[in-house]
Amino acid sequence: MPGEADKVTNGVRVSADIGGTFTDIVLARDDGGVFSLKVSSTPDAPEQAVIKGVVSILELAGARGEDVREVLHGTTIGSNTLLEKSGAPTGLITTRGFRDVLEIGRVRTPDLFDLTWSKPEPLIERWARLEVRERMAADGSVVEPLDEDEVLETARRLKDQGITSVAVCFINAYRNRAHEQRTAEILRSQFPDLAVTLSTDIQPEEKEYERTSTAAVNAYVLPVMRKYFARLAEGLRAADVSSPIYVINSSGGLSTVDLAAEKPVYFISSGPAAGVTGAARLGASIDAENLIVFDMGGTTAKAALIEGGRISRANEYEFRAGISTPSRFIKAGGYLMRAPNIDIAEVGAGAGSIASVDPGGLIHVGPRSAGAVPGPACYGLGGINATVTDANLVLGMLNPVALAGGTLAVDIERARAALERDLAKPLDTSLEDAAVGVRAVVNAGMARAIRAVTIERGVDPRDFSLVAFGGSGPVHACDVAHLLGIRRIVLPNMAGVFTAAGMLAGDVEREFIEPLSTLLEDDALQAAVKRFEELEQSARSALLADGFRLESIALEQSVDLRFENQDTTLSVPLNGIGEPGSAEVLRERFLQEYERVYEYRADDAVELVAARVVGTAYRAGKLDFRSYRLTDADSGKAAKGEREVMFAREAGWTPTPVVNRHAIGKSQRGPLIVESSDTTVVVPPDASVFADEVGNLFVEMEAQG
């Protein structure tokens, strides 16, 4: 029976994803039963919503605090701290002559011809960026020894000014860490309450701005994140939940909460990453290896790529106030972090994005968003601007009376009025044409995010299935797919809370990297074998220390290569240490990969840049997307009726059946609207849909004429 729990026979695992409006909680029982819940977020003390949600869902699932085996968590604390500039008073200690590196950055501007632009305030102001005498050469030799007295004096000055967290970054420390490490020793022994971040502890790689900025972000968010995790653990313990807590890192892997508290820069994009890893797990369960992940919420849409079961990752990204541009080659105007992350493109197009017309007659959507408050015009909560949701409502895509399973009342007349005023009038067109236009523009924006992770990488989106989730993903998925020529769309069960569900399916990962910086020759490859052995040892030890058993740990090796004098590398996987043995074989493998991406080969020397080992600990009892049973309020309900929907201008109003998700079985032709409590699925006329045993929906688009 829905809502009524069976007795818990074993343990449960709980996940929590904090969003702007709601905190999503999902619970999986060892017997395969799954429960989900949304509670209002509590932005001032985000852990409160998590704790409250965990207590409620345990009740719902008939479990007790001590039954919880693990709590998995995706948090936006890091990104919010940066967005709101609410981090700790932070200082920087750096090499004499280089205090301005952090503020100078890479000197570009995000756009051309814009004389109104301003750089964001650096996280550490100039007065708190102090220099000490020391210098390493590019080969790691000491040019000038560390002036230890100056370190002490500098730290004292920073403390006197109220600084509580310090980043240390010295020029060429990536070649020799001794001065940074000695500085940390001095600071930790003399100023034990000062939080210290060393640039080389975070990412020991060339390029001083990138390393300084990464250390600065870490230092800035560290005290906030540390306190947050402490409060979370304490609150959960008070609810009798004293299981380990794992946190999703920006790369989508799970890490221990202790690591998250020490190197929070790895956890800034904790939230969105979980959705992508979840999609990869889902993909594995439905035998789909090539997926485009599409997550659309209220203010932004995100896209990521899963190719051959592998998630596309990047080693650097920039946090900006507002919306990231999909033009990722620009390094400007944000807080740069060199931290492994999932290559997620984000555009300012969401359900709450505001639509307008410029004086030349072009429709624009976003990046301004009406958010949850005041919300779209149709909410009647004070929002008057026409939004994407209003356009969807006018076109019949959404329920004209209430959304979110009937819990959120809407007023279609307000939506019509807003669209008429903001779009139809200035465009001199009909209301419906204006609404179709808004949808077309927002869909094009989302397609642009997807292009950034596909076509820019030399990948044809038509070879992929689109996995769509987030509250609004399933409303737009088919149209976005159509724009890109994608034929198959997957709409997971629990699309509205999919990110939290995805965490439960995750594993714990630790990545270890060692720079090699040598030409690809047989001798160098032999020497790299030793580095790989050390990296494997580090990865294994780290996971054993996290409490995993040896047999649950798997290690993957890869090597980063490039042509000599290039900057960007390509990663080539190896099948174990010592493979492939000869430089010639590895070179050929690199050339093949290079040609696949860039469509040409060169005869030049190839450089071994870095060795990489990823250790994965497979969690026992993780959510299996093949065999879970979702317990929700919609179970057993059938068709809901019919309404007129306008899918395209040419087609006009089309009578369209409206059904419950559980009513979908074997293949059914569109048009069709599927309503559930967490989202609405829009299936256009030129498509068909079917469901699998666990409730995932699959849409097949017909060939385009």
> Contact 333/106 with Cβ under 8 angstroms?
no
Exactly one of 25, 27, 101, 691 binds another protein (CB under 8 A); that residue is: 101
Exactly one of 192, 308, 361, 705 binds another protein (CB under 8 A); that residue is: 361
Nearest to 263 by CA among 167, 155, 179: 167
Exactly one of 358, 551, 650, 693 binds another protein (CB under 8 A); that residue is: 358
- Is 563 among the residues that bind another protein (CB under 8 A)? yes
Exactly one of 4, 551, 567, 693 binds another protein (CB under 8 A); that residue is: 567
Six token digits for residue 242: 């004293």
Q: What is the per-residue burial (b if ≥16 Cβ within 10 Å, else e) of 588-604?
A: ebbbeebeeeeeeeeee
Six token digits for residue 646: 């306008």
The count of chain residues that interact with another protein, using the rule CB under 8 A, is: 75
Cα–Cα dist 28/7, whole Å:
13
Exactly one of 6, 59, 66, 100 binds another protein (CB under 8 A); that residue is: 100
SS3 258: helix
Q: Pattern of binders to another protein over 402-441, x per CB under 8 A?
A: -------------------------xx-------xx--xx
Taking the complex as a whole, how short is the minimal distance between the CB of residue 611 and another protein, in angstroms?
A: 19
Q: Quick check: bond before 223 cis, omega within 30?
A: no
Cβ count within 10 A of residue 236: 23
Taking the complex as a whole, how short is the minimal distance between the CB of residue 96 and another protein, in angstroms?
A: 8
Taking the complex as a whole, how short is the minimal distance between the CB of residue 14 and another protein, in angstroms?
A: 41
Taking the complex as a whole, how short is the minimal distance between the CB of residue 8 and another protein, in angstroms?
A: 51
In this structure, the dihedral spanned by the alpha carbons of residues 55, 57, 59 and 60, taken in order and rounded to 10 degrees, is 170
Taking the complex as a whole, how short is the minimal distance between the CB of residue 385 and another protein, in angstroms?
A: 18
Please say which residue, 104 or 402, places its beta carbon nearer to another protein.
104
Query: Which residues are bridge partners to 668 per DSSP?
Result: 689
Please say which residue, 599 or 693, places its beta carbon nearer to another protein.
599
Please say which residue, 308 or 359, places its beta carbon nearer to another protein.
359
Please say which residue, 143 or 633, places its beta carbon nearer to another protein.
143
Taking the complex as a whole, how short is the minimal distance between the CB of residue 500 and another protein, in angstroms?
A: 32
Taking the complex as a whole, how short is the minimal distance between the CB of residue 367 and another protein, in angstroms?
A: 13
Give the sign of the dihedral formed by CA 598, CA 602, CA 608, CA 609: negative
Structure letter (DSSP) for residue 8? P
- Contact region for another protein (CB under 8 A) — 71-79, 221-229, 324-332, 518-526? 324-332
Count the residues in the chain: 705
Taking the complex as a whole, how short is the minimal distance between the CB of residue 77 and another protein, in angstroms?
A: 29
Rounded to a whole number of angstroms, the CA Rg of the chain reads 26
Taking the complex as a whole, how short is the minimal distance between the CB of residue 360 and another protein, in angstroms?
A: 5
- Is 359 among the residues that bind another protein (CB under 8 A)? yes
Q: How far is CA 69 from CA 58, 65, 293, 388, in A?
A: 12, 9, 29, 41
Taking the complex as a whole, how short is the minimal distance between the CB of residue 442 and another protein, in angstroms?
A: 11
User: Which residues ranging from 246 to 265 are in contact with another protein (CB under 8 A)?
Assistant: none
Cα–Cα dist 503/16, whole Å:
8
Helix (H) or strand (E) holding 584: helix 583-598
Please say which residue, 222 or 478, places its beta carbon nearer to another protein.
478
Taking the complex as a whole, how short is the minimal distance between the CB of residue 597 and another protein, in angstroms?
A: 9
Cα–Cα dist 194/159, whole Å:
8
- Is 206 among the residues that bind another protein (CB under 8 A)? yes
Taking the complex as a whole, how short is the minimal distance between the CB of residue 174 and another protein, in angstroms?
A: 7
Please report, as a single letter, which amino acid is at residue 88.
A
- Is 287 among the residues that bind another protein (CB under 8 A)? no
Please say which residue, 549 or 596, places its beta carbon nearer to another protein.
596
Taking the complex as a whole, how short is the minimal distance between the CB of residue 125 and another protein, in angstroms?
A: 6
- Is 565 among the residues that bind another protein (CB under 8 A)? yes
Six token digits for residue 620: 């026992």
- Is 97 among the residues that bind another protein (CB under 8 A)? yes
Exactly one of 60, 239, 284, 330 binds another protein (CB under 8 A); that residue is: 330
User: Which residues ranging from 102 to 141 are in contact with another protein (CB under 8 A)?
Assistant: 103-119, 125-127, 137-138
User: Which residues ranging from 444 to 463 are in contact with another protein (CB under 8 A)?
Assistant: 444-445, 448, 451-452, 455-456, 458
Please say which residue, 426 or 621, places its beta carbon nearer to another protein.
426
Please say which residue, 287 or 358, places its beta carbon nearer to another protein.
358
Exactly one of 268, 363, 431, 478 binds another protein (CB under 8 A); that residue is: 363
Cβ count within 10 A of residue 539: 24
Please say which residue, 117 or 618, places its beta carbon nearer to another protein.
117
Q: Within a 13 Å sphere around the CA of 629, how many CA atoms are in the beta-carbon half? A: 14
Taking the complex as a whole, how short is the minimal distance between the CB of residue 699 and another protein, in angstroms?
A: 21
Cα–Cα dist 253/246, whole Å:
9
Q: Within a 13 Å sphere around the CA of 432, how many CA atoms are in the beta-carbon half? A: 14
Q: How far is CA 142 from CA 132, 135, 265, 272, 703, in A?
A: 14, 6, 29, 43, 66
Please say which residue, 240 or 595, places its beta carbon nearer to another protein.
595
- Is 99 among the residues that bind another protein (CB under 8 A)? yes
Taking the complex as a whole, how short is the minimal distance between the CB of residue 191 and another protein, in angstroms?
A: 23
Please say which residue, 9 or 116, places its beta carbon nearer to another protein.
116
Please say which residue, 146 or 543, places its beta carbon nearer to another protein.
146
User: Which residues ranging from 472 to 501 are in contact with another protein (CB under 8 A)?
Assistant: 483
Q: Pattern of binders to another protein over 158-177, x per CB under 8 A?
A: -------------xx-x---
Exactly one of 7, 192, 329, 550 binds another protein (CB under 8 A); that residue is: 329
Cα–Cα dist 386/370, whole Å:
9
Q: What is the DSSP string of 178-236?
A: HHHHHHHHHHHHH-TTSEEEEHHHH---S-HHHHHHHHHHHHHHHHHHHHHHHHHHHHH
Six token digits for residue 91: 């200082």
Q: How far is CA 535 from CA 181, 314, 373, 396, 591, in A?
A: 21, 20, 49, 56, 26
Please say which residue, 31 or 125, places its beta carbon nearer to another protein.
125
Q: Pattern of binders to another protein over 77-96, x per CB under 8 A?
A: -------------------x
Exactly one of 238, 362, 409, 639 binds another protein (CB under 8 A); that residue is: 362
Taking the complex as a whole, how short is the minimal distance between the CB of residue 119 and another protein, in angstroms?
A: 6
- Is 653 among the residues that bind another protein (CB under 8 A)? no
> Which stretches does DSSP call E strand in 263-405?
291-296, 301-307, 310-311, 313-314, 317-319, 335-337, 341-342, 345-347, 353-357, 363-369, 402-403
Q: In this structure, what are the phi and psi dihedrals at residue 574, rounded to the nearest 5 degrees?
A: -115, 155
User: Which residues ranging from 597 to 626 are in contact with another protein (CB under 8 A)?
Assistant: 598-600, 602, 604
User: Which residues ranging from 505 to 544 are in contact with another protein (CB under 8 A)?
Assistant: none
SS3 31: coil
Helix (H) or strand (E) holding 615: strand 606-617
- Is 208 among the residues that bind another protein (CB under 8 A)? yes
